[in-house]
Structure 1
Amino acid sequence: MRLQKNNLKSMNKLRKAGALLAIFCVGQLTIAQTDSLNVIERTGKDSIPKNPNFKKIKIDGVASVVGDYVILNSDIDKTFIDLQSQGQDIKNITRCQLLGKLMEDKLYAHHAVQDSILVSDGEVYGNVDRQIDYFLEQLGGDMNKLLRFYNKTDEESFRQELFQINKVNLLSKRMQDKIVEEVEITPEEVRQFFNNIPKDELPVFGTELEIGQIVVQPKIPETEKKKAIERLKQIKAEVEDQGTSFATKAILYSHDRATGGKTLSLNRKSAFVKEFKDVAFTLEEGEISEPFETEFGWHIVQLDRKRGQEIDVRHILLIPEVPAEALREAREKMETIRKRIVDGEISFEDAALEFSDEKETKFNKGQLINPSTLDTRFELTRMDPSLYSQIVNLADGELSQPLLDEDRTGTKKYKILRITNRHDEHVADYSRDYTKIQELALQEKRMKAVQKWMEEKIRDTYVSLNAESKDCNFVNNWLKK
């Protein structure tokens, strides 16, 4: 079982490394993208310049070929630079380890294509946009500085390189998802997994909290709603009648700054509110919807492209202005609700059901759901910083004062929070922590399925390594010994 435990640790390290590489590796180029490299072609002796100041430059050689993909030595170098630029400790990371990870990604991507797994250009470009936004945020919004950092002459070439990298990453992820999609774990397997862990190696689970909240949203006057609707109708008319760009209008006017102007890819199961999906899936390509309302505000949506069960859309969100008087009334209502709970007139759970304006929690006794685990527990060390700051000084069962909360779209609301339950740090217990133990057992079983797939596909896939790379002690059998 010690090996089993080590496998779990190794798996977590690989998952962490894989996430870092997926975010930061902007050096993974295909062989068709070597125009930006300082390479001198191999030529005969007679063609070498006679300039005495001429210096030979090392050719950017091929480190490995996996299926249809080529990994260059410069890809490994740039991956090191990218990881270091993000503050990662690279002292214990070797070239062989990075090459092995890049080869794994290429193997997944190669067989994703072979298995006809599709990745839409809209989804890839959406990832590129978010990646560049992140980079610019780190560099104070200076695109020229970003291009100089990555030695790119223009934004378009940089975006195209990122497009290729993100496409490989998405193909790789889709292939991994397909490998494990049918892997399930039985209660008996969970029991055996737990019983095989030595007592002195049982995992320790950190302190977790269960948190409830009641939300009061300020009432928006009908006059403000009408202003938003009329403005959206005007924007729609300008795009349809004058040929202006919907994307440009979204960048200029949408209150959803995170997605303004960007393409959103979705299907019927995507995590968008029902009203948004209902409208989006009724449109034809190029069509713009009439204004419609969701819990976030008022929208218009343009359908960019249909791809089977998936669509690419852009949207503009306008949030009607909330007058100061409406905010004051919302706070007073929140204070009254809080006083009634403190005075024992009504329970927190009943108050959530009767008064809360948040659909997701009011029918669940006000309990927040952890978006990462989909249960009600929040581990302190992994909690969202904004939520942590709101509950850190609360005692168990204590009600917070009314808090003015504002989301990324600028929507304002008042809420009160309460820690409804606390689970202190403890050594894993089978009955108490069954769900977590089940997840660990499932992870190990999935890891074994991926490893089995990897071993089979390496044998069946063309793999070539240069002489230097053949000296690596790879985790996987890339040398096919």
Structure 2
Amino acid sequence: MFKKRNSILLRMIKQLCVFLFCVLGSINLTYAQGKIVDRVVATVGSNIILQSDVDMQYSQNLVQGMSPNEDFKCYILQQLLTQKLLAQQAVLDSIEVSESEVDDNLNSRLSHMSRQAGGKERLESFLNRSLLQYKEEMRTSVAEQLKAQKMQQNIVQKIDVTPLEVKRYFEGLDKDSLPYFDTEVEIGEIVMYPVMTKEEKESFRKRAEDLRKQVVDGSDFGTIARLYSEDKGSAMAGGDLGFSTRDNYVKEFSAIAFKLKAGEISQVFETEYGFHFLQVLERRGEEVKARHILISVKPTAASLERTRLKLDTVYQKLVDKKLDFHTAATHYSDNKETKFNGGMVTDQNRSTMIPVNQLEASVFKAIDPLKAGEYSQPTLFQDEGPGGKSGYRISFLKTRIPPHKANLEQDFAKIKEAASEDKTRRKLSEWFESRRNSTFIAINEDFHKCEDLQIWFKPLNEDSIAATNASK
């Protein structure tokens, strides 16, 4: 008993030392020439969270369009506390992240933030530092975030729900507050894009060649990209695509990007999106940072009519039952996302049942007059991808479920997903409660008013009480 009390006391002394170190450290960090530089705002175990950590993430959210709101820093600190708990356990469980994983995450973030800010220069001006400096400052934090994510995945990865658990979950819901689902449909599509002749595409190639000549003759690549590139995703950033591996590009693009040396500008080349030319900015191992300018190929009236006639032939075979939809989609459709799924459209959760209010207007217009099992005639459309390609589409209405209150028969998949999420939340809640009760946590009093943080202000647990008694 005496040894146990001694060990508890020793642990409390260690925690107190850490706390005092953090307090003293915060005093040294906080005041310099009469103004705040940095300070410790929370301690989790042997790790600290600085005011600068909170402010850095707050700045990121401002860059991405959030309105200024000081209360949001409470939420950020709550997320950082959670991250620290997970990351500490990740270290104990020997969970690692590679440098390439950290680089990929940082590059993706900076690329997104640059687009949101309207370019690298504007982002650097907002952050008051170069992106290279910002990237290095964020490296440790991002590595910790990735470890925390992997740890959380480890905690819940084996969670599954049986049909019986789904049934019990549903039966436990308040029947008066069950969700009411709008009309849902199960739809398929066969898409065809025009195949243009070399002659039909020549004017678009010439346009790309003219822009390349302007760059080669001294015009600024970024300015030309912002003015004329038809890749909406990168044009605002001067055509900058950030660092990427070969797998992130279509094969024609990667073949050229990974062949050029830094600073070189490619010849004009063609991909499924149109005519491009690119400049390699930097090479780093198996990654390349490039920027490009895209000129999309707009289909001619003649190419569109050829496509309509071809797809109309497929439509007649479907209506005459000479061809089933699954086979037709697999054989004829140009949409790579749906053709290998028998033409069936899925939502972000891979469900084929889609609320009608989530459909594109053109798709809803095509399937609205159909009965289950019927097809729309070929309809002209324009997609939302790079270049906004135009084509023709046959829509297939497989199932239509009228508006209804949730029930197991019609909504089993959605109820199962909700049951799984509920089980996952409970598992994580139990894990966090266990770690909070066994980990020394101190939060600066300036944050004690935060509603998001109330769960972290817990009473002394049994070990803490025993240690207190032992020290008397």
TM-score range (shorter-chain normalised) is 0.5 to 0.7
Q: Cα gap change, 1:143/1:422 in structure 2, threshold over 3 Å: closer, same or farther?
A: farther
Q: Cα gap change, 1:342/1:471 in structure 2, threshold over 3 Å: closer, same or farther?
A: closer
CA distance in 2, matches of 1:81, 1:263: 18
Q: Cα gap change, 1:291/1:452 in structure 2, threshold over 3 Å: closer, same or farther?
A: farther
The 3-state SS of whatever aligns with 1:433 is helix
CA distance in 1, matches of 2:331, 2:445: 71
For 1:207, which of 163, 175, 183 is the aligned residue?
Answer: 183
Query: Which residue number corresponds to residue 112 of structure 2?
Result: 130
CA distance in 1, matches of 2:59, 2:270: 47
Q: Cα gap change, 1:300/1:439 in structure 2, threshold over 3 Å: closer, same or farther?
A: farther
Query: Which residue number corresponds to residue 72 of structure 1?
Result: 51
TM-score (norm 2): 0.63
Q: Cα gap change, 1:334/1:60 in structure 2, threshold over 3 Å: closer, same or farther?
A: same
CA distance in 2, matches of 1:249, 1:72: 41
Deviates more, 1:408-417 or 1:295-304: 295-304
Query: Which residue number corresponds to residue 115 of structure 1?
Result: 95
Paired amino acid for 2:402 = D
Query: Which residue number corresponds to residue 41 of structure 2?
Result: 63
Q: Cα gap change, 1:83/1:442 in structure 2, threshold over 3 Å: closer, same or farther?
A: farther
Query: Which residue number corresponds to residue 415 of structure 2?
Result: 437
| Residue 366 in structure 1 maps to residue 343 in structure 2 | yes
| Residue 396 in structure 1 maps to residue 374 in structure 2 | no
Query: Which residue number corresponds to residue 424 of structure 1?
Result: 402
Q: Cα gap change, 1:71/1:317 in structure 2, threshold over 3 Å: closer, same or farther?
A: same
Paired amino acid for 2:333 = S
CA distance in 1, matches of 2:426, 2:315: 55
For 2:32, which of 37, 41, 58 is the aligned residue?
Answer: 41
Contact 2:381 2:391 in 1 (8 A): yes
Q: Cα gap change, 1:460/1:443 in structure 2, threshold over 3 Å: closer, same or farther?
A: same
Alignment of 1:259-408 (within 5 A): 261-263=240-242, 321=297, 324=300, 327-333=303-309, 336-337=312-313, 340=316, 344=320, 349=325, 351-352=328-329, 355-362=332-339, 364-370=341-347, 372-381=348-357, 383=358, 387-392=360-365, 394-397=368-371, 399=376, 402-408=379-385
CA distance in 2, matches of 1:129, 1:412: 28
For 2:233, which of 258, 282, 294 is the aligned residue?
Answer: 258
Paired amino acid for 2:111 = D
How far did residue 64 of structure 1 move?
0.9
Paired amino acid for 1:367 = M
Q: Cα gap change, 1:169/1:452 in structure 2, threshold over 3 Å: closer, same or farther?
A: same
Contact 2:333 2:339 in 1 (8 A): yes
CA distance in 1, matches of 2:288, 2:435: 33
Q: Percent identity?
A: 24
TM-score (norm 1): 0.62
Contact 1:213 1:368 in 2 (8 A): yes
Q: Cα gap change, 1:321/1:250 in structure 2, threshold over 3 Å: closer, same or farther?
A: same
Query: Which residue number corresponds to residue 135 of structure 2?
Result: 160
Give the superposed CA RMSD: 5.6
The 3-state SS of whatever aligns with 2:233 is coil
For 1:104, which of 75, 79, 82 is the aligned residue?
Answer: 82
Deviates more, 1:360-369 or 1:469-478: 469-478
Q: Cα gap change, 1:264/1:248 in structure 2, threshold over 3 Å: closer, same or farther?
A: farther
How far did residue 313 of structure 1 move?
7.6
Deviations 1:155-187 (A, max 9, x none): 437743884565554444333223222222223
Count of aligned residue pairs for this structure pair = 410
CA distance in 1, matches of 2:345, 2:405: 25
Contact 1:353 1:363 in 2 (8 A): yes
Query: Which residue number corresponds to residue 386 of structure 2?
Result: 409
CA distance in 2, matches of 1:129, 1:85: 12
The 3-state SS of whatever aligns with 1:63 is strand
Contact 1:330 1:414 in 2 (8 A): no
Deviations 1:83-114 (A, max 9, x none): 798467969x6765543233213333454456
Larger Rg: 2
How far did residue 129 of structure 1 move?
1.0
Q: Cα gap change, 1:462/1:226 in structure 2, threshold over 3 Å: closer, same or farther?
A: farther
How far did residue 454 of structure 1 move?
2.1
The 3-state SS of whatever aligns with 2:334 is coil
CA distance in 2, matches of 1:321, 1:81: 36
Q: Cα gap change, 1:108/1:395 in structure 2, threshold over 3 Å: closer, same or farther?
A: farther
How far did residue 359 of structure 1 move?
4.4
- Alignment gaps of 5+ in structure 2: 1-25, 209-220, 462-472
Contact 2:376 2:396 in 1 (8 A): yes
The 3-state SS of whatever aligns with 2:400 is strand
- Alignment gaps of 5+ in structure 1: 1-33, 44-56, 233-245
Contact 1:297 1:318 in 2 (8 A): yes
Paired amino acid for 1:440 = A
Q: Cα gap change, 1:444/1:467 in structure 2, threshold over 3 Å: closer, same or farther?
A: same
The 3-state SS of whatever aligns with 2:241 is coil
CA distance in 2, matches of 1:327, 1:435: 42
For 2:159, which of 177, 183, 206 is the aligned residue?
Answer: 183
Q: Cα gap change, 1:175/1:224 in structure 2, threshold over 3 Å: closer, same or farther?
A: farther
Q: Cα gap change, 1:264/1:214 in structure 2, threshold over 3 Å: closer, same or farther?
A: farther
Q: Cα gap change, 1:75/1:417 in structure 2, threshold over 3 Å: closer, same or farther?
A: same
Deviates more, 1:397-406 or 1:172-181: 397-406
Paired amino acid for 1:366 = G
Paired amino acid for 1:160 = K
Contact 2:95 2:150 in 1 (8 A): no
| Residue 446 in structure 1 maps to residue 428 in structure 2 | no
Q: Give the helix-richer structure, 1 or 2.
A: 2
Query: Which residue number corresponds to residue 220 of structure 1?
Result: 196
Deviations 1:221-247 (A, max 9, x none): 367899999xx9xxxxxxxxxxxxx99
How far did residue 130 of structure 1 move?
1.2
CA distance in 1, matches of 2:187, 2:230: 29
How far did residue 348 of structure 1 move?
7.5
The 3-state SS of whatever aligns with 1:104 is helix
Query: Which residue number corresponds to residue 23 of structure 1?
Result: none
Q: Cα gap change, 1:180/1:77 in structure 2, threshold over 3 Å: closer, same or farther?
A: same
The 3-state SS of whatever aligns with 2:432 is helix
